[in-house]
């Protein structure tokens, strides 16, 4: 009986160590929030898009040339 408990404890310790050292490697493969580009909100329609794809006029961002020409949305949401 003591020998069986020893083997169960040894296997449990091996599984725990394997998961402990395997865990950080799998987390490193997932994209992090820091890797995401900065997002901005269109002043006309409110859609969020990456800042490098947005058009800027003064202090406001727009998702398309048409919304830039129409200006900010004046209706209250």
Range 53-62 average pLDDT: 93
Digit-coded pLDDT (tens) for 18-35: 988 886 655 555 666 677
Burial 15-39 (b: 16+ CB within 10 A, else e): eeeeeeeeeeeeeeeeeeeeeeeee
pLDDT confidence of residue 75 = 66
Q: Which residues contact 7 (CB under 8 A, 6 or more apart)?
A: none
Judged against a pLDDT cut of 70, whether residue 72 lies above it is answered with yes
pLDDT confidence of residue 29 = 57
Residue 44 class from Cβ within 10 Å (0-12 exposed, 13-18 middle, 19+ buried)? Answer: buried
pLDDT confidence of residue 25 = 56
Range 71-77 average pLDDT: 69
Q: How many CB atoms lie within 10 A of CB 41?
A: 15
């Amino acid at each position: 009986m003591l020998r069986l408990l020893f083997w169960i404890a040894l296997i449990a310790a091996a599984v725990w160590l394997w998961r402990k050292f395997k865990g950080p490697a799998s987390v490193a493969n997932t994209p992090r929030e820091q890797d995401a580009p900065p997002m901005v909100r269109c002043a006309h329609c409110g859609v969020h898009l990456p800042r490098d794809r947005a058009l800027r006029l003064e202090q406001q961002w727009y998702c398309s040339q048409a919304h830039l020409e129409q200006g900010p949305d004046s209706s209250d949401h």
